[in-house]
Structure formats: C-alpha cells, structure tokens
Chain A
C-alpha cells in the first residue's frame, strides 16, 4: 500500500510539472501596438524651395 501511494504521488507531481510546462509553452505572449497618424503633408515631395532655399533667385 505504501509503495502504491508513493507511485501515485510521483505521478501527480509529474502531471503538475508537465502542466506548468504546457501552460508556459502555450500561453499567448503580450503584443504591443503603436499607432501613428500620418497627414498628407508628411507624404509630399519636398518643394524646390525646401531643397534649394534661394531657388527663386535663379528663376
């Protein structure tokens, strides 16, 4: 009877450890999210005056 209960005890410990491993292995990890608004002004080609500050002098 004593040997039998020890075997059961070991089995339960094994199950608990295995469940902990499974939980760690399958637990969904946290995802981060960042949002940034982009206006049309940010998506424009640079004007000639921005590239060459004195462009008007040449024209």
Chain B
C-alpha cells in the first residue's frame, strides 16, 4: 500500500524534475545563442573607422574614369516584317552625376577628404565596344561597333535591324570598355553592361509593311475612282437644273 502510494507520488515528482531540468537547459542554450549573436557583429565587422589612425594612408585606388555615366538603350518592341528599325545604345555623360570624394569616418564625425583617383584617360586609350547578339534578324552595319571614349563626350551606337519572318526574337546588347595603355602593353576589357531585349516581328494578313502600304495606296485610288465617280455626275445634274431655271441666260450667252 505504501509502495503503491510512493510510486503514485514519485512519478509526477520525477516528471516535474525532468521538465524543470529540460527547461533550464533550454534557457541556458537560448542565452548562449543570444550572447553569441550579440557578440558576433563586432567580430565579423571590425570597426575600421576607429582602428584607422588619422595618419594612416588611404588604400591605393584602382585607376578609373572620373565621370558618372548614363547608359540608355532604346529598341522597338514590335517591328513590321520587311521594315527596318533602329536599336540605339547611348553612353551619355550624366549631368546629375554627383562625384563626391570618398570620406573617411573617424569616430562619429565625417570628414570629407579629397584624394586623387588615378585618371584612366591620362594613362590609357579608352574605347567603348557595343555588341548586338540577336539571331534571325538582319543587323547592319556590324554586330560589333567600337568607338573611342573621350572625357565628357557621349558615345552612341546604332544598329539597323530588319525582320524577314514573323516571330519573337530575343537578343543581348553588350557594352564593353577596352583600356589600351598609352605606354604600350596588353589591353584590358571590362564588361560594363549586358541587357536583354525582346523584339516581336508582325505582319498583317501575310503582308509585310511595304506590301500593306502599297496595297493601301492602290486601293485608295481605285476606291476613289469607283465611289467618287457620281460626284461629277452630281455636278452635271446641278448644272442642268440651273440651266433649266434660267434658260434665258444660256440663250444670251
């Protein structure tokens, strides 16, 4: 009887103890994770602003083009079969481009520090190379066009495209920069942008754009001849009526 009582009372007690230890372990685990999370950022991201003394020289910058540019791509979404259209790629000088010198942060104060970025124009001949990759369309003059990139001047590439068949055409417009050292040496290429374009070629009842226009002109002429024929006849009738009303005038004339 006593044993039975002990068993009955000890079971919930052991359950409670095991639950409490489980909860305690869980809480300890969570605390450990939380402390690890809070401590992680300083370890992962060292504070460069405070670690750099004021006299520390700035890291060497790679030579770059000191201009903000705007790349504009214009293309027709739809073209008529047999007609040609233009794809334009312009590397414009961005007038709103705000070139601020890189600032170094010391503590909480931001100090603007001007340092000269090596100018690529001074050391290299810079070329912009535009390339149009599209299959199924006739491209003129060439899929690849190279233009010299001058400081403060825009570069424009134009391709004339023409579709011979109805369909959807997908292509890519690439822009590369080619740097050729003035002192001689190996030229370097830099892929600046690769943009996808989709062009749909359409026709009207199997007619190309040119055929439709010619048919339209001929049809208008023929239709005018057929339908406006009664106009001279109407004028003739009016003339006759007028003459009937004033027969004396005709006789006088």
Residues of chain A at the chain B interface (Cβ within 8 Å): 4, 7-22, 24-26, 29-47, 50
Contact = CB atoms under 8 A, between A and B. Distances in A.
B140 to A, nearest CB: 18
A38 B227 contact: no
Chain A contact residues: over half helix, strand or loop, or mixed?
helix
B34 interface: no
A30 B101 CA distance: 41
Given A30-B78, A37-B68, A37-B94, A22 B213 contact: yes
Interface of B: 60-80, 85, 91, 94, 97, 99, 117, 120, 124, 177, 179, 188, 190, 192-193, 195, 197, 204, 207, 209-210, 212-213, 215-220, 222-230
A11 B120 CA distance: 69
Contacts of B77: 29-32
A29 B212 CA distance: 15
Contacts, number: 156
A51 to B, nearest CB: 10
B73 to A, nearest CB: 5
A33 B72 contact: yes
Nearest to B218: A18
Contact of A25 (B72, B197, B213): B213
A33 B216 CA distance: 31
A20 B193 CA distance: 41
For A8, A29, A30, the residue with the greatest tally of chain B CB atoms inside 10 Å of its CB is: A29
A9 B229 CA distance: 12
A20 to B, nearest CB: 8
A19 B216 contact: yes
Q: Which 6 A-B pairs have the closest CB atoms?
A: A11-B227, A18-B219, A11-B226, A44-B64, A14-B223, A15-B223
A29 B71 contact: no
Contacts of B69: 37-38, 43
Nearest to B224: A15
A31 B74 CA distance: 7
Contacts of A4: 230
Given A10-B226, A35-B70, A22 B220 contact: yes
Nearest to B195: A34
B219 A38 contact: no
Contacts of B230: 4, 8
Nearest to A24: B204
A14 B219 contact: yes
A27 to B, nearest CB: 9
